[in-house]
Structure 1
């Protein structure tokens, strides 16, 4: 049946068109005919996110991330939920961000929905969003909750005592609600095109914790807040997420009824915390304590007003957020030094004296840090009266940008923390049965518990509790702890504050989170809290675990399992880098993630969706952005090159020639713009984020960077292949020639014969890098750039890296290293490297793959912090290479029409497993080598339409058994 035309209109409410972090409810009650229809289809989308309920039953959430100009919508079959001949209710919960993120571009608040009834192929609209719908702000949600991170939306603060959660039910009294306001018709800006969701709905699976890890009575800040100085200091910065800078000061009054000692705490001090003065006295640096990024100082407050002045200058930040807390045994009130506006907070700023927006691939801009007025503030402002000297620069900070409480700071910092034994019945909160855990109450203290889900998950926090009204439950998710060490999620406010109503209540958060551990802190409890359960509704792209791997080495088996779980958690509506910190579709990461997913799950729609999203960034930059769709216009040239390579690999995976033709035009477009960056020496010289790995290789953001010149050669070659598929012979020859010319220039200018190695870069001043890295040598080998003589030399480095070369520092770079080793027939080296580096993760209790190897911690100020992100799919390489090398399953024709099975025993006694075929089930392989190491039995089961070539390992005599399904 052809989908009916849209007749619904976008709706919202009166007032601000793009309010900051607004949660709004919409309802429509209607009659459904008793007969005369067979199907009921509901299409829906919203700006920014929605949760849909039909007759009190939650149906789905969305939409998937998309560019505003091709807004995605979802379609639900809801005929089984409708009551024929009776009243029915649609209820939609909408969160409008009101700011751009790394996965959303700011639009305006709006909802669009249309319910069609169908009979014999004809559809009739029954319900349309229009001004007959009713709407209300969800008054239980605090719009002033802090941003979770620069990449994401907001943390969560919900007060159940001021809102009736039964608003989704049909019998709810909505007589006090306002009528929805019409925004406009389908096709209006910014949603000029609507695009049907191109992937299935994500899973929702309930996951229970396994234990209560700790119980403590704690005491934290008596007052705290988080302040968004980015949006205050840089007008218009809510429209994008580009890096910004600003200069200026924050001023506030700390009022104390009597002289008192206090602790000032800044838990995320890497931004917006420069010099600090109290009552005109500079607090010396040696007075502060705490492991970075935490920063604390004990001060003595005078009776009455105390003027606090903080230099909040930020040289280049995404978030620009100040986390600030105060602890004192006496009452301390935070108030404004000057009441400038009714809607102002307790804070004002002096400045900004300068602002800047930094975009890596555009002309360089600089922040003026030498402004004389700015530099004079600290010396001149000793009292409130002194502020008047800077009247022209005083700005009140809007209360909307100041949170009521900074929950994450209260969870991180403790004035007192007393560990207690965990009583057996407290574990009832993690057991799915009817008996609750009774949380003890301690006079003068809060009660803190940490529960362990045993492995990381990504989804929606849910709980069932019984409480007195006003009881506060703070939830804080994090990824790693070991003994007394807890790795806090600095840069990610992974918290939820829930204020209880009286009695039994259930709640499921609409905000996605990634975590393994969950800190649960009960505050303000007048009676013990009963917890009947805490769960995570795990949500990811729907996959079956078709791929498998087992071997005689338990360590490799464990490594494969954490690689599998990591990949699954990082498959949302796109591939994402990590489920906790960012949840961002990084274009370069996804190339490797797709290859791993091919060997685990064999799903193609998510890969196609990711690849198609990238060219949508062309209006931000013709070089294509490195994360999409995003408010940050940033270019990592390698990420664009990996995208083009991934387009070709998708064709190889599926045999989809039409898709290859479609993407060729986009590849050609961006490469023609990259060719404009070729300098007089024939090398790519570009301003951008010229990244490959986090190791200290010489990869400046200006100049000629060796590894990306080499990857550009490979991309030219891929473009030529795609041109051939598309029938563009002229374009194919042009790209072939461009690759050959660039390869020649690399070997002429970037090879140092005295060092027998490729240098890392040439700086803009012409200075040749004196740093040599394994990265440049590996990429030269992988891309085929190295000439015959050069390759003979750098081949040796693959097995014996020179000690003075920068070594590979991340699992992401290891993927390319392993590809190079595989091409050289060095499977044994791959397996040894996997055991060594990933084995360290297993030794430290990893259940998912880390962003960096643990030994990279040598460069960190905190030796306990082994990696930032503990779940990062760019690190899941073992799941791919154990399939390609140990099982030896390798595609040798597009669409897996031909497959070679060439196992590499690598010292193992046996291995078995399976790899998904993209269309016809899977390919099973098992092999067993005898103790002599000379004989091997290989068993293969494969779909009948796949041509199989089995290769017995060199040095072995083999028995091959092949079965066709």
Structure 2
């Protein structure tokens, strides 16, 4: 079982970086080639979870044992029983990444055992999509590893061993979540599997070569269908170990009907009106399920958490624990909203050494456990090990207003819960990497964290266009794999994310890589660009926002978002020296500026949502007015009238085409699918309010117009989310997930529009400090820049700035002064 070969010539004794690997792809079984011919798919294995192991001997433990590893689809590696790493990060199959590890901290003198658990999902889910396989590779689980032991190289090959315990399976998906629901029968899994399970029936692993014309049966990366393996682009994930705020147990009740899906079984139990109510308990909790009787345990973590659940218990062999993760409390007699998560797990006890350690990341606040068995059960404890991308550095915001301070903190936490190996929509339900949603997460990262790698990763991962040039609405998963309907305007928000990196980093290499995709997105709209100079009848799902915004016919919102993209692409093109493309984009923008006038409503002082077959329609929205300002299409002299109209609280109405009254609305969704939209507000006098996502555009428009006071007033609406122990922002104003990353705009606003720190030049060649004077008694904070934190504190008496780079300071009277890096304390005179 020793897998060591003489070390080849390497340029670096510390880091393994050669694109040509020495390790082989190995799998759990020999692949029988399927030669179906060019363009014909081959079969794919179903879900499987396998253990691979090897051992090596060290005469002494070196200071470092660099290793690199990846797998299709996921791996967890243990050395001598302790976890050494897990991955890889989500990515399109042809851009598969590997991870660098250092095994030395877990190594010991003498014999060492390495065990790698590899998961193959079989079917696409919300965060993984299968490779387009060749005759062998891409059809089942594979693993590749190599480690520098100093005097030799440890590699994956056919001296490794594999065990298929058959202990795990995935419950059939229910609802729209797309998340795996793991079921573990611990009776089939050796209790000592992490240390190598010496008594288990291990078999030789199999080298899996690529088999296609030109592959020459190559079994070492780079190979089709994964291409050249790429280094991990972000740092490690991690987090604290969290314990429940409350535990409750219910007396035994009649056994719920057997159901193959654990969540469905728990839900059926909760839906039984005869179920006894749980009462407060403390760990260890003693339970007594028996024949025909289940026991119900409820846990409240006190807030939304996200990571790996652990349940430690003593239970008779065969005891079954069905778990259901919830984001909101169960209310007896109240029907479950369609949007309720269908996530959970099932654990079947082995009768000794029982400890369920989830391998799938899940977010929840409430945990319901339905315990079935024949004999007493003791639940010793429950905890969650959070698995999130950490916010780095000491950026902060504090003010004389506790409400605003709480909003800053809530936005940080909301984005943290949606920062994994990508920006996700919500941790409790989907965990999909939506191409549009992530622009808000990105802006929060850029303004609150000194580690911008995940902000870069957002646009790199999203850079995966369909053949026609537009982006999938969600990348890496079943949605991208299908290649089906997309949300075109999500691509325009992604382009805004590229422009954010232009402003914050001016990374020319990255921008040069992304610019061709940005241009193709803009060009995708050209067939819908009319002779009148606007976009009309754009197909697919023009979502814009969850609010009731009209985008049919000639659309002002879609046109303005496209125009913003044209201006942003022109900026990027100038930085890259591509003046031809800058002229192309600017020329189109000028044509839009002339045509956009058709949407202006002089009487109401704002822009209409849309015009259908030449007939102006009455509906107006915050989205239309705000998009006109931020795109530059609205003349400056109109800005104040637009903000007066679209931010007048007396005119605003909250409407959505698919939700309201606390939940998704099945009737509305059915109407939307049939093309039926009901205007149940006064479209002539009322303005449809943006939902939390597109509010970032509204707040930007208010800032452009110099209306920071209204912006701060609008931010306070987010305080409605912070109740009943929740410390995160929800998806929509009165329905949806209670933790949605796209809703975190106030945190960015407090840094950019109140503290006033933004890039004054691309890449922070010079910062700009333009505080919102006079609106709060005192404000202080620190914002990240490429050179370090830039700190600002101000009140009515003066301002203090400590900057690591040159900056422009805007004074209360509007004067702008240039300052070099360093510390400045400036008192305001009484007449200023």
Q: Would the aligned equivalents of 1:160 and 1:500 in 2 still touch at CA under 8 Å?
A: yes
Q: Would the aligned equivalents of 2:98 and 2:232 in 1 still touch at CA under 8 Å?
A: yes
Provide the TM-score with structure 1 as the length reference.
0.72
Return the offset for 1:62: 0.9
1:940 partnered with 2:801: yes
1:890 aligned residue: 758
1:840 aligned residue: 720
Deviations 1:632-691 (A, max 9, x none): 234322211121222121121123233223322322233233324323433323212111
> Which of the numbers 399, 409, 427 marks the counterpart of 2:282?
427
1:631 partnered with 2:656: no
Return the offset for 1:707: 0.6
Q: Would the aligned equivalents of 1:478 and 1:489 in 2 still touch at CA under 8 Å?
A: no
Q: Secondary structure at the match of 1:667?
A: helix
Counterparts of residues 525-674 of structure 1 (less than 5 Å): 525-527=374-376, 529-544=377-392, 546-619=394-467, 621-632=468-479, 633=483, 634-674=485-525
Q: Would the aligned equivalents of 1:651 and 1:659 in 2 still touch at CA under 8 Å?
A: no
Counterparts of residues 373-388 of structure 1 (less than 5 Å): none
> What is the distance in 1 between the residues matched to 2:146 and 2:640?
67
> What is the distance in 2 between the residues matched to 1:34 and 1:673?
62
> What is the distance in 1 between the residues matched to 2:476 and 2:263?
31
> What is the distance in 2 between the residues matched to 1:413 and 1:473?
18
2:118 aligned residue: 94
Return the offset for 1:74: 1.1
Flag the 1:442–1:699 CA change in 2: closer, same or farther, 3 A.
Answer: farther
Query: Structure 1: where are the runs of 5+ without partners?
Result: 226-402, 429-435, 855-866, 929-934, 956-960
1:455 aligned residue: 303
Q: Secondary structure at the match of 2:390?
A: coil
Q: Secondary structure at the match of 1:418?
A: coil
> Which of the numbers 823, 828, 832 marks the counterpart of 1:963?
823
CA-based RMSD of the aligned residues comes to: 2.9
1:205 partnered with 2:240: yes
Q: Would the aligned equivalents of 2:623 and 2:690 in 1 still touch at CA under 8 Å?
A: no
> What is the distance in 1 between the residues matched to 2:465 and 2:269?
38
Higher strand share: 1
Return the offset for 1:870: 0.7
> What is the distance in 2 between the residues matched to 1:887 and 1:104?
39
> What is the distance in 1 between the residues matched to 2:449 and 2:262?
44
Return the offset for 1:811: 0.9
When Rg is computed on C-alpha atoms for both structures, the one with the higher figure is: 1
> What is the distance in 1 between the residues matched to 2:566 and 2:349?
60
Larger CA deviation: 215-224 vs 53-62: 215-224
Return the offset for 1:848: 0.7
2:830 aligned residue: none
1:11 aligned residue: 26
Q: Secondary structure at the match of 2:259?
A: strand
Q: Would the aligned equivalents of 1:696 and 1:806 in 2 still touch at CA under 8 Å?
A: no
Q: Would the aligned equivalents of 2:26 and 2:143 in 1 still touch at CA under 8 Å?
A: yes
Q: Secondary structure at the match of 2:413?
A: helix
Q: Would the aligned equivalents of 1:552 and 1:909 in 2 still touch at CA under 8 Å?
A: yes
2:634 aligned residue: 786
Provide the TM-score with structure 2 as the length reference.
0.83
Q: Secondary structure at the match of 2:410?
A: helix
2:96 aligned residue: 71
Q: Would the aligned equivalents of 1:478 and 1:517 in 2 still touch at CA under 8 Å?
A: yes
1:187 aligned residue: 222
Return the offset for 1:711: 1.0
Q: Would the aligned equivalents of 2:564 and 2:631 in 1 still touch at CA under 8 Å?
A: yes
Counterparts of residues 468-867 of structure 1 (less than 5 Å): 468-481=316-329, 490=339, 492-527=341-376, 529-544=377-392, 546-619=394-467, 621-632=468-479, 633=483, 634-685=485-536, 686-700=538-552, 703-748=553-598, 750-753=599-602, 756-763=605-612, 768-787=616-635, 791=639, 793-800=641-648, 802=651, 804-835=685-716, 837-854=717-734, 867=735
> What is the distance in 2 between the residues matched to 1:473 and 1:224?
13
Q: Would the aligned equivalents of 1:47 and 1:111 in 2 still touch at CA under 8 Å?
A: yes
> What is the distance in 2 between the residues matched to 1:610 and 1:35?
42
Return the offset for 1:15: 6.7
> What is the distance in 1 between the residues matched to 2:439 and 2:617?
29
Deviations 1:745-766 (A, max 9, x none): 2223x33456654332345x66
Return the offset for 1:137: 2.1
1:952 partnered with 2:802: no
Return the offset for 1:788: 5.5
Flag the 1:210–1:74 CA change in 2: closer, same or farther, 3 A.
Answer: same
2:670 aligned residue: none
> Which of the numbers 763, 766, 779 marks the counterpart of 1:911?
779
Flag the 1:757–1:220 CA change in 2: closer, same or farther, 3 A.
Answer: farther
1:414 partnered with 2:242: no
1:316 aligned residue: none
> What is the distance in 2 between the residues matched to 1:767 and 1:15?
63
> What is the distance in 2 between the residues matched to 1:841 and 1:585?
23
Flag the 1:148–1:7 CA change in 2: closer, same or farther, 3 A.
Answer: farther
> Which of the numbers 116, 133, 137 marks the counterpart of 2:164?
137
Q: Would the aligned equivalents of 1:218 and 1:415 in 2 still touch at CA under 8 Å?
A: no
1:160 aligned residue: 186
Return the offset for 1:598: 1.6
Return the offset for 1:821: 0.9
Q: How many residues align?
A: 739
1:345 aligned residue: none
Q: Would the aligned equivalents of 2:442 and 2:458 in 1 still touch at CA under 8 Å?
A: no
Q: Would the aligned equivalents of 1:903 and 1:953 in 2 still touch at CA under 8 Å?
A: no
Q: Would the aligned equivalents of 1:97 and 1:153 in 2 still touch at CA under 8 Å?
A: no
> What is the distance in 2 between the residues matched to 1:826 and 1:657?
34
Deviations 1:403-427 (A, max 9, x none): 59843533542242212432xxx32
Flag the 1:11–1:504 CA change in 2: closer, same or farther, 3 A.
Answer: closer
